[in-house]
Amino acid sequence: MNRRNEGVTPHTLLCRYTTDAVFYREDDLVRDLLGKATFVDVFMKQTFGYAPNAAQRRIVDAVLVTLMEHGLTPSAIATRMIYSSSPENLQSAVAAGLLAVASRFVGTMEPAAQLLDRIVAAGDGAADEASRIAQDYRSRRAAVPGFGHHMHRPDDPRAVALLKLAREVGTFGERCAALEHLGASVDAAAGRHITINATGAIAALLGDIGIPVALMRGFAVLSRAAGLIAHIAEEQHDPSGRFIWDLVDGAMTA
């Protein structure tokens, strides 16, 4: 038994109903939200308990747009394959793709955010902490979370645009600055420039608007679900599932 919950009646603050109304937290769905609040507004209020200001809304929207589409990555391939096998269950195909939102694809902002938190916590020693992190990863020949990309070199245009946006809207804060410290240290340790990738920038942007590390991947899940629905829409009129199957089968069994 979880002793923290002893004697406490489980409850939710997220939604309640009356005979003539539905409430999201304290907001009346019909009177307060429909046609008046954006999806981002309601998502942020439901999840974090506050409605975003204009700057935060632009950051969240930019993050969701950035994460929505990555081409034929493992998540998109999984979705297309499951849909080709079970076209009557669109949701199963999306769920299959979302399982690939993890520590190596799409959801990598969490470990990057943890490193940025370490640098911020170091205070005046931020640059030294960034250097220690970079040297540690270099000594282990491990990729630093939030850095490197197989295609976007020398810089990831998405990261450049996201950090520029943070400056424009006034949310560029401690974690964006920490990312710059870490970028300089990663370059110094490698002896060459290593790009800051999109998820590294997203970790910094979300951190600077107060998003907890443990919920950052939720933005990837939310956005990627939309992207996977788009892959299903394309699969419906221009299917590739059988081609992918035959391609793998031929390469692996020939």
- Catalogue all structural domains in the chain, each as residue range(s) with its CATH number: 1-52 (no CATH), 109-208 (1.10.230.10)
Determine the average pLDDT of the residues in 113-127.
96
- Average the pLDDT over 223-241 and give the result: 94
Q: For 38-54, how does the pLDDT look when each residue is reduced to its tens digit (9 = 90+)?
A: 999 999 999 999 999 99
187 vs 193: CA distance, rounded Å: 5
User: pLDDT band at residue 127, thresholds of 50, 70 and 90?
Assistant: very high
Q: The tokens of 113 are what?
A: 């955010």
**What span, in angstroms and rounded, lies between the C-alpha atoms of 50 and 122?**
29
Instruction: Give the span between the Cα atoms of 179 and 185, in whole angstroms.
Output: 10
Task: Compute and round to an integer the Cα radius of gyration of the chain.
Answer: 21
- Whether 217 and 101 have beta carbons less than 8 Å apart is answered as yes
CB 134 within 8 A of CB 144: yes
> pTM value?
0.90
The whole-number pLDDT of residue 3 equals 62
Average pLDDT (139-148) is 91
Angle at 140 between CA 139 and CA 145, to 5 degrees: 105
